[in-house]
Structure 1
Amino acid sequence: MTIDLDAHRRELLAHCYRMTGSVLDAEDLVQETMLRAWRARDDFDSGRASLRTWLYRIATNVCLTALERRGRRPLPSGLGAATFEPDAPLVHSPEVPWLQPVPDALITDPAAVVASRGSVRLALVAAMQHLSARQRAVLLLRDVLAWPAAEVADLLGTSVAAVNSLLQRARTQLAAVSPAEESTVEPDDATQRAVLDQFAAAFENSDPELLTRLLAEDVTLEMPPHRTWFAGRHAVGTFLGRVVRAGSWRLLPTRANGQPAFGTYVDGHEHGITVLALNGFQVSRVVAFHDPSLFRWFDFNSH
C-alpha cells in the first residue's frame, strides 16, 4: 500500500512540540513516529481510521513513552517568583532543560497559521508543562484536535469516565497556572508592525527611552537559561535600558509560537530568539531565549 506520511509531518511536529515543549525533541519524536508508521504500514486499515488519526495515535504513544524519561521544560516564571528590582543578579541555570520556541514556518502552512496560533503560544505550552503526560495528551486530543472521548480512551487504554476526569483536572490546573497574557488584546496588523518596528529600533539605535515607552505597566521579561526574571515596567525597562547600550544590536523579524519574534544579533554574532506578546500598543511579555543554537530552525538568510 502507498501512503503519504510526509503530508502530515508539520502538524505532527506541532503535536509533539505541544506535548514536549522542545522543537529538538519534537523532531526526533516525529522521526520515530514516521519510522513506526512505515514499519506498520501493512497494518493500516483506512476503513477503521483515517491516515491522519492513525498517525496521531502513533505520535501520541511515542510522546508518552518519551515523557516517562524526561522532566518538564519550564520557563523561568515556572520556577520561582519574579523580581521587581532591576539590579537583581542573574542566576544562570544551564542545567535546566528549558522550554524552546518553535518557528511558525516549521509547524504550519500559511493557510493554517491563524487557526493554529493559539495552541502553540508560549504561555500555553509553558503552562502545559505543569500537567502530567497523560493529562497533556487528553487535553490536546480533546480540546485541540477535537477527538471524541471514546477515541481518546481507546488510545490510552482507559475508560471514557477516566478520560473526562483527566480532562477536567487538566483544564483546572491549566487555568490555575496560565498567566494573564491569555486575556490580552491582539493588535491589528498595522498596529503590530508599528510596535515591532519601534521595538527593533529601540535596540538598534540604543534608545532606552523609546523601549520603556513601549512596555506595558505589568510587562514581564524572561531570559532562559537565566532563572531570574523581571516584572513591571520599571524593572524591565531599567534592565533592558542597560542591555541596549551594551553592544551593537540587530533584530530580524520572524514568528515563533504564533507570536511576533526576532532573531537577535549582538556585535554581528547570533545571540538568541526573542518572542513577544503584545497588548494593544504595548509589549506585555518578552521571552528572550539566549541560545544561538536555536537559529538552526529559523531562516534569516533572506534578510
Structure 2
Amino acid sequence: MSDFGSRTEPFRKELLAHCYRMLASVHEAEDAVQETYLRAWRSWSAFEERSSVRVWLYRIATNVCLTALEQRGRRALPSGLGAPATDLSPGTPPDDPSVLFVEPIAESLVHDPATIVTTRESLRLALIAALQYLPAKQRAVLILREVLAFPAAEVATMLDTSVAAVKSTLQRARARLDENPPSEVVEPDDPQAQALLADYISGFENADLAALERALRADAAIEMVGTTAWFNGRVMCLQLLESALGEPGDWRMIPIVANGQPAVGAYFKGEAYGVAVLTPTATGLTGIHVFSTPSLVPYFGLPLTPPAP
C-alpha cells in the first residue's frame, strides 16, 4: 500500500478535469475525485494491473460520475432554458428548484503544461454546456474516446459493455453535438483575446461604455448564470452593461483564466461579486457568462476583498 500515493497522485488534476466535464460542477467534481481515490485506496491491494493505473482510475472516476448523474438532472446555462430577455428586468432563479447551472472552473485546478491546449479546448464553457445535453453514458463515451483518446476496447472495459456498443454510442453522441457546433474561440493568451479582455476591464473600472461597445460583436450575448435571464445582441447587451457600470472606481476586475477562456474575478465597491467568463473570437466577444456568486472568487486564487493595485 505504501506506493499508492506515488502511483495515483500524478493523475489527480486530469481526473478532476474529467469529472468536471461529466458533471459541469467544480464542487461535484472535487467530491467525485475524492470518492474515486477512496475507492481506489480500498481496492489497491486487489488491483491486478491488467490495465494501467491511469485506466483503472478513469474507470472508477467515470462510474462515480455516472452514479452521481443518476440522482440529478443536467446542468444548464440560461440560454438553454428559454428565449432571451426582451427588457432589462432582473433575472430570477428558475421556477423548478431541480434546475442546476454549469459552474466555471479555474485553469490552475486542472493545469497540465504538457496538455494545456487540449485541456483548454475540452473545457470551453459552451462545450461543457453542450455535453450536458447528452445522456450520461453517451457523455462518458464521447469524453473517453474523443477528449482522452482511450481505445474503444479500454472504454468498453471501463463501462462494462462491448466495443460495438461503444462505437454506436459514440456515433450518436457525435451526431447530437454536431447539431450545434461551438464557435471558434481564440486562446486566452492570444493578443486579440488580451485586447478584448483589456477593453472589458477598462469598460467596467472606468465606467466606459465605449470600451465595451468596441469589444462586443453584433451577435454578442450575456448570460446571468443562476437565473433564467440572458440578453442577445450588442444593443441589448450594451443597455444591460450601462445599467450596471455605476461610477468610475465602483468595479475592480482581476484577470484570470476559466474554462480555458479569459475571465475576470469581479469586485463591486470593495466586495467580491463573482466571476465573468468571456468568449473571445477574432472579431470580438460573442459571449459573457456572469456568475454573480462571491464564493466562487476564492476558487480562482483571489481574496474576498480586492487585492492592492
Same fold (TM over 0.5): yes
Residue type matched to 1:124 in 2? L
* 1:280 Cα deviation after fit: 1.6
The residue aligned with 2:115 is 112
Corresponding pairs, count: 299
Q: How does 1:167-246 map to 2 (within 5 A)?
A: 167-179=170-182, 181=183, 183-184=184-185, 189-245=190-246
Distance 1:26 1:287 in 2: 20
Deviations 1:124-166 (A, max 9, x none): 0000110111011100111011111122122222222211111
Deviation for aligned residue 1:281: 4.7
Counterpart of 2:165 in structure 1 is: 162
Structure 1: gaps of 5 or more residues: none
SS in 1 for 2:139: helix
Q: Which residue type is aligned with residue 167 of structure 2?
A: N
Q: Is the 8 A contact 1:139 1:170 kept in 2?
A: yes
Q: Distance in 2 between the 1:76 and 1:256 partners?
A: 18
- 1:93 is matched with 94
Report the Cα distance in structure 1 between the residues aligned to 2:180 and 2:92, rounded to whole angstroms.
23
Match of 1:18 in 2: 21
Q: Give the stretch that moved more between structures: 214-223 or 273-282.
A: 273-282
Query: What displacement does 1:114 show?
Result: 2.0
C-alpha separation in 2, matches of 1:282 and 1:268: 29
Residue 248 of structure 1: aligned partner: 250
Question: Contact 1:67 / 1:133 at 8 angstroms: preserved in 2?
Answer: yes
TM-score scaled by structure 1? 0.93
Q: Using the alignment, how far apart are the partners of 1:221 and 1:35 within structure 2? A: 40
Other-structure match for 1:33:
36
Decide whether the 8 Å contact of 2:256 with 2:265 is kept in 1.
yes
Q: Return the offset for 1:88.
A: 4.6
Amino acid at match of 1:206: A
Task: Describe the shift of the 1:133–1:200 C-alpha distance in structure 2 as closer, same or farther (beyond 3 A).
Answer: same
2:144 pairs with 135, 141, 144, which one? 141
Q: How big is the shift at 1:300? A: 2.1
Residue range with higher mean Cα deviation, 185-194 or 70-79: 185-194
TM-score by length of 2: 0.91
State the alpha-carbon separation in 2 of the partners of residues 219 and 199 from structure 1.
13
Instruction: Judge conservation of contact 1:218–1:231 (CA < 8 Å) in 2.
Output: yes
Q: Secondary structure at the match of 2:51?
A: coil
The one-character-per-residue Cα deviations of 1:186-221 (angstroms, maximum 9, x if unpaired) are: 586223222211210100001112211210010011
Q: Which moved more, 1:200-209 or 1:158-167?
A: 158-167
- Distance in 2 (CA, whole Å) between partners of 1:38 and 1:31 is 11
CA distance in 2 between counterparts of 1:155 and 1:184 reads 32
CA distance in 1, matches of 2:175, 2:24: 20
The reply on whether 1:300 has 2:263 as its aligned counterpart is no
Residue type at the aligned position of 2:212: L
Q: Which letter does structure 2 place at the counterpart of 1:101?
A: P
Q: 1:75–1:222: 8 Å Cα contact kept in structure 2?
A: yes
The CA deviation at 1:177 is 3.7
Task: Measure, in 1, the Cα distance between the counterparts of 2:275 and 2:288.
Answer: 10
Cα distance in 1 for partners of 2:285, 2:144 equals 32
AA aligned to 1:24 is H
**Does 2:127 match 1:124?**
yes
Unaligned runs of 5+ in 2: none
Partners of 1:66 and 1:217 in 2: how far apart?
40
CA contact (8 A) 1:192 1:281 kept: no
3-state DSSP of counterpart to 2:290: strand
Q: Residue 178 and residue 281 in structure 1: after superposition, are their counterparts in 2 closer, same or farther (change >3 A)?
A: closer
Instruction: Identify if the C-alpha distance between structure 1 residues 31 and 186 changes in structure 2 by more than 3 Å, giving closer, same or farther.
Output: closer
Q: Secondary structure at the match of 2:275?
A: strand
Cα distance in 1 for residues equivalent to 2:189 and 2:119: 18
Aligned-pair identity (%):
49
Q: Hey, what does 1:61 align to over in structure 2?
A: 63
